[in-house]
A and B are shown apart, each in its own frame.
Chain A
Amino acid sequence: MNSPQVPPSLRELLADVFEISPEEVTPELSSATLETWDSFRHLQAVLALEGEYGVQLDPQRVPELTTVALLQAELEKKGVSL
């Protein structure tokens, strides 16, 4: 399924982190449903996103960012143009 809502760079990065294909990265994709999205991968994803977009996420908010849509919103809030 195509998911035009997730920008390509974010989609590809998360696909690498979670070892899935970019097509599987939808806004609804969540740590609750994706087996490979455990707490370590979550940290891995955060670190990769910070490195890729040059931002720092607030560690207190990080545990709450459990879906692709939430991650994307947080990045946009930080001023990242995806």
Chain B
Amino acid sequence: MQADSKRNELRQCIKDALANREARAAVQLARDLLAVSSKASDVLFCATCFAAESETLTRQAGLKRLRTYLVRSVTLEPVLPYLSTEAVFSGFFLDLQAGGYGSYVSELLQPDSELARFQPDLVLIALDLEEVAGRLPALCADGLGAGVEGEIQEAAARMEQLLRNFRSRSSARMLLHGLLIPDLTSSGDVGDANLPHSLTNAVLRLNQRLAEVCRATPDCVFFDVDRLAARHGRARWRDKRMFLASRLPLSAEFFLAYARGLVRSFATLFRAPRKVLCTDLDNTLWGGILGEDGADGIATGSAFPGNCYLEYQRYLKQLSQRGILLAVVSKNNEIDVLEAFQTRAADLALSLDDFVARKIGWGEKADALRELSQELSLGLDSFVFVDDNPAECAAMQSQLPEVAVLQAPAAEPWKLVDLVAEQPYFDAILVTDDDVNRLQEYKAQTQRMELARSTGSREEFLASMEIVCTFQSALQAPLSRAVQLLAKTNQFNLTTRRRSAAEVEQFLSAPGGQAVVVRVRDRFGDAGVVGLALAGNRGDVCYIDSLLLSCRVIGRGIETALLAWVAEQAVRTGARRLVGEFIATKKNAPCATFYADHGFVRCAAPEAASAEAAAADATFYEFDLTAARLSSPEWITLEGTEQHELSPSTALTA
């Protein structure tokens, strides 16, 4: 009864908040409501409220609106309210449309299909085993499995063909559902486990093949439904009654888990993972309080409860291995901490070298994160903060709302790993060499700053860095890295267009098209691929669609070298004028005067300027390529790919 009155009160608050256009508050209240009661009717209520206020949500709460099309052979309509609600909680507003049951092939293949006309930003593909590889159950049944391998390969090839074909006409992001591994087959559990061609083994392999197909398709993610089924209980995941009667592929009990998993999967196609995890020490990285218990008294190591903390440390170490930066943010005496790391080294899975930085002292933790953000040149929205103290967590949340705050369960340290693992903050569908080398790169950055302090003039300093820029076609470097840069670069990004892999490829195939990336290294290390430019010619004018540089390397003349490179290519392909564009965002002020600083002059928007440019209030600049030459700074050595290899015709065949 009390829960009911709380429900009704929250419902009223949500309605009021939306009516008053307080979108963020409404979203938070909806979260609260579903935390109190996750009944179907409450989810439906939230979905209905959100659907009616799409404008408020996208404008006020900054939700990313996605035209989302569901290509399916199963009934998912009852799940859609869960999906749209979970999407809102993750920062997306879905305009959903579901396709017909039997039409997925023609929808993906035909240029005038309902799907194509919908012009989706995101396509969700949910097919059942019957459609993907309907012959498998029969082929597996005899236990010998002749033809099973062939069917798996054919099924994967068919799917690849469908995705490729659709991809050739659309740059929409795609999510492909994996298959549910059948349970209780005619081979029995023992047969399923032991026969090489049992149906469960066959579908497991098919899933792996489908994941490979997704990896090979730009902007496509594989959604492993079976993993969710296994986690939540395969016996209950699919309600056979509802599947056979209504083709509902999962039991209503798991709609929420499914929706959450699905949103978490596609979110990685639109947003870069967070990059830094800041951890508290006392009762978070180890048990107890260093200042009171001493280095010998803190809990860490192989015995309980120290092993809970050891698990957490190992988890952090693993995150750091794929490029997540770790930082210590703790209220302690630094000397005590150094001692603890030294004397308890055998009981700790992390050493101080594993941390990119440490902020140990008695100041505000929010200030520590602000400093870290500056020192690492990373936005606060790249940070995750873990601390057991509720007051510290609340202070961080209110002072720096961009930071993701996780409160460590001090009384239940065995939950530490799950606390971090359950969050999507570090989800990534690919890891590049640049990610893996990030810790070394940031350490090199610190050395550079020291050098800068010890050298006289800027020129002298830059010359002593021995910077080398290597220009490559975006196809020669991993294309995924180019897209990663487009997705996550904010500060030095002139137009902030989040181009997809397919769009980058289009630049290379267009006349005079350029999709060039720049790798940078210096005497301290290799920063990897840190910059990108997309440009294309229209007549004798070369338009720069995108030009961006990772903020880690700004201010060393690399931006000038990149621009000079683009200009040179433009001249080679017959351009007489170079036109650049600046679209102001909240974050890209550092490059506002970029074109003016390089001798460009303001000009009118070109007639061919896209509608999106006009809408975004772009400023255009032009440079007369026949009158002057843009040159790269003297202190930068240019090397690598010969220029002729970058010509459009060669890039096309690359």
| A19 neighbours in B (Cβ, 8 Å) | 44, 48
Q: Which residues of chain A are within 8 angstroms of B253 by Cβ–Cβ distance? A: 51
Question: What's the interface size class on A, roughly?
Answer: 10 to 19
Q: In chain B between 69 and 99, which residues have their CB closer than 8 angstroms to a CB of chain A? A: 75, 77-78, 81
Q: Which residues of A contact B244 (CB under 8 A)?
A: 59
Contact pick for B44, options A17, A40, A43, CB 8 Å: A17
Which residues on A sit within 8 Å (CB–CB) of B41?
Answer: 12-13, 16-17, 48, 52
- A56 interface hit (Cβ, 8 Å): yes
Give Cα A52–Cα B252 distance, bound, in whole angstroms: 11
**What is the total number of residues of chain B having a CB less than 8 Å from a CB of chain A?**
19
B241 interfacial contact with A, CB 8 Å: yes
B245 close to A62 (CB less than 8 A): yes
Residues from 231 to 268 in B contacting A, C-beta threshold 8 Å? 241-242, 244-246, 248, 252-253
Does A47 make an interface contact (CB < 8 A)? yes
Query: Would you call B39 an interface residue if the criterion is a C-beta within 8 Å of the partner chain's C-beta atoms?
Result: yes
Whether A44 is near chain B, meaning CB under 8 Å from some CB there, is yes
State which residues 418-475 of B face A: CB under 8 Å. none
Q: Closest Cβ of chain B: how far from A46's Cβ, in Å?
A: 9
A50 interface contact, C-beta 8 A = yes
* Main DSSP-derived SS at the A contact region: helix
Chain A contacts with B in 1-44, Cβ cutoff 8 A: 12-13, 16-17, 19, 40, 43-44
Q: Which residues of A contact B400 (CB under 8 A)?
A: none
- Chain B residue numbers with a CB within 8 Å of A12 are 41
State whether A43 touches B248 (Cβ < 8 A): yes
B635 at the interface (CB under 8 A from A): no
- Is the CB of B341 closer than 8 A to any CB of chain A? no
- Asked whether B78 lies within 8 Å of A44 as measured between CB atoms, the reply is yes
Is B39 a contact of A51 with CB atoms below 8 Å? yes
Interchain nearest-CB distance for B7 vs A (Å):
10
Q: Is B355 an interface residue (CB 8 A)?
A: no
Give the residue name and chain of the B residue nearest to A62 (CB). Answer: B245
* Residue of B41, B42, B44 with most chain A CB atoms under a 10 A cut-off: B41
User: Shortest CB–CB separation between residue B259 and chain A, in angstroms?
Assistant: 14
B244: nearest chain-A partner, CB-CB: A59
Contacting residues of chain B (471-513) with chain A, CB-CB under 8 angstroms: none
User: Does B48 lie within 8 Å of A43, measured CB to CB?
Assistant: no
Contact call A59/B44, Cβ cutoff below 8 A: no
Q: Which residue of B lies closest to A12 (CB)?
A: B41
- Which residues of chain B have C-beta atoms less than 8 A from A62's C-beta? 245
Minimum CB–CB distance from B438 to chain A (whole Å) comes to 46
CB within 8 Å for A43 and B40 given contacts A16-B48, A51-B252: no
Q: Report Cα–Cα, A12/B244, bound state, in Å.
A: 29
Binary B-proximity of A51-62 (CB < 8 A = 1, otherwise 0)? 110001001001
Chain B residues with CB under 8 Å of A59's CB are 241-242, 244-246
Across the interface, name the chain B residue whose C-beta is closest to A47. Answer: B252
CB neighbours of A47 from chain B (8 A): 40, 78, 242, 248, 252
User: Can you list the 10 inter-chain pairs with the closest CB atoms, starting with the nearest?
Assistant: A59-B245, A48-B40, A40-B77, A16-B41, A47-B252, A16-B44, A44-B78, A13-B41, A16-B45, A19-B48
Given contacts A44-B44, A59-B245, 13 further A-B contacts (CB under 8 A): A16-B41, A16-B48, A17-B40, A43-B77, A44-B78, A47-B252, A48-B41, A48-B44, A51-B40, A51-B253, A52-B40, A56-B241, A59-B246
20 inter-chain pairs at a CB distance below 8 angstroms, sorted by A residue, are A12-B41, A13-B41, A16-B41, A16-B44, A43-B75, A43-B77, A43-B78, A43-B246, A44-B40, A44-B44, A44-B78, A47-B242, A47-B252, A51-B40, A51-B252, A51-B253, A52-B39, A52-B41, A56-B241, A59-B245
Residues of B within 8 A of A (CB): 39-42, 44-45, 48, 75, 77-78, 81, 241-242, 244-246, 248, 252-253
Query: Could you list which residues of chain A lie within 8 angstroms of chain B, going by C-beta atoms?
Result: 12-13, 16-17, 19, 40, 43-44, 47-48, 50-52, 56, 59, 62
